[in-house]
Amino acid sequence: MYPKQVRIVEVGARDGLQNEKTIVPTASKIELIDRLSACGLRSIEATSFVSPKWIPQLADATEVYTGIEKKSGVSYPVLVPNLQGYERARAVNVSEIAVFTAASEAFAQKNINASIDESIERFRPVIERAQADGIKVRGYVSTVLGCPYQGEVPVADVVRVAQRLHELGCYEISLGDTIGIGTPKKAQEMLAAVAAVVPMTSLAVHFHDTRGQALANILACLELGVSVIDSAVSGVGGCPYARGASGNVASEDVVYMLQGLGIETGIDLDRLIATGLWLSAQLGRETSSKVARAAA
């Protein structure tokens, strides 16, 4: 049965802008997040406190985070890979962080230069510190339906990593189809297996639309009761360390589908479409949102 309400986690300012070839000006990033805040979103990922050597696109994380207007009732999570990132995030008073690892060893090595176990050992003190500081921690598992380097990823590996992040204290685990390779039946099988060990209310899905399967996969996961969906305005997104990854599913398209299903999101679709069109103009290309294209 579909959930009555869905929370969208808007990842465009992070997943989207981390993958742009040219570095987006800090002022545009701030304007994007402020515009998103006016759309009724409750979770807007703002940036990443990762190594600027690895992701130069988000080297201005401190400036972006301090520059945005924090609207009450809206959470602005930031990615943190290690204690160094935590210190930087803490220095600007973040209230939510996200740690991230993968279900495939090959991808973890390429993306964070660590094995899955090593990455989890890195998070342990980060999560302890965050809990002591009253900061919420979200967890990401990448490559849940396939890996660009390893190929097939056994569901048991996804379950094991998600369970560990949950046990470590992540309040929510986002399951990422990093390279958009999954199809609905596989997505359901993976989600059902994870939900057998982590409550469905603590799970989110994160689909990239590389092969045009994202909305179908989301619908299949909604049928199982997932009620948190990651998406990116204008369909921006991708990980520079995931060969062949393209944009996230467009937030506008997800909201349109949810409205059609009678599922509440609290989001003003017209404003979201306008924000996505503004962003695509900033990036100098057409929006990837079909709903926005139809409205333009």
Number of residues that bind Mg ion (CB under 5 A): 1
Site pattern 197..236 for ligand HMG (x: CB under 6 A): ---------x-x----------------------------
Site pattern 106..135 for ligand HMG (x: CB under 6 A): -----xxx----------------------
Q: Does 100 contact ligand HMG by CB under 6 A?
A: yes
Q: Give the count of beta carbons closer than 10 Å to the beta carbon of residue 81.
A: 25
Interface segment toward ligand HMG; rule CB under 6 A; list 63-71, 105-113, 182-190, 273-281: 105-113
Closest CA to 100 of 51, 50, 159, 140: 140
Number of residues that bind ligand HMG (CB under 6 A): 28
Least CB distance to ligand HMG at residue 49 (A): 5
- Using Cβ positions, the residue closest to Mg ion within the complex turns out to be 15
For the segment 17-46, give every residue that binds ligand HMG (CB under 6 A). 18
Interface segment toward Mg ion; rule CB under 5 A; list 11-19, 98-106, 149-157, 164-172: 11-19
Interface segment toward ligand HMG; rule CB under 6 A; list 52-60, 67-75, 126-134, 256-264: 52-60
Task: Report how far residue 100's alpha carbon sits from residue 18's, in angstroms, rounded to the nearest whole number.
Answer: 15
Q: What is the dihedral of CA 149, 172, 137, 89, to 10 degrees?
A: 60
Q: Does 81 contact ligand HMG by CB under 6 A?
A: yes
Q: What tokens appear for 159 in the block?
A: 């379950």
Q: Which amino acid is it at 260? A: G
Which position among 65, 76, 123, 241 is part of the footprint of ligand HMG (CB under 6 A)? 241
Which position among 239, 255, 258, 291 is part of the footprint of ligand HMG (CB under 6 A)? 239
How long a stretch of residues is the chain? 296
Q: Does 48 contact ligand HMG by CB under 6 A?
A: yes
Nearer to ligand HMG, 15 or 252 (CB): 15
Nearer to Mg ion, 82 or 210 (CB): 210
Q: Does 15 contact Mg ion by CB under 5 A?
A: yes
Annotated active-site residue 239? The verdict is yes
Residues forming the site for ligand HMG (CB under 6 A): 15, 18, 48-55, 79, 81-82, 84-85, 88, 100, 111-113, 140, 142, 176, 178, 206, 208, 239, 241
The catalytic site residues sit at: 239
Residues forming the site for Mg ion (CB under 5 A): 15
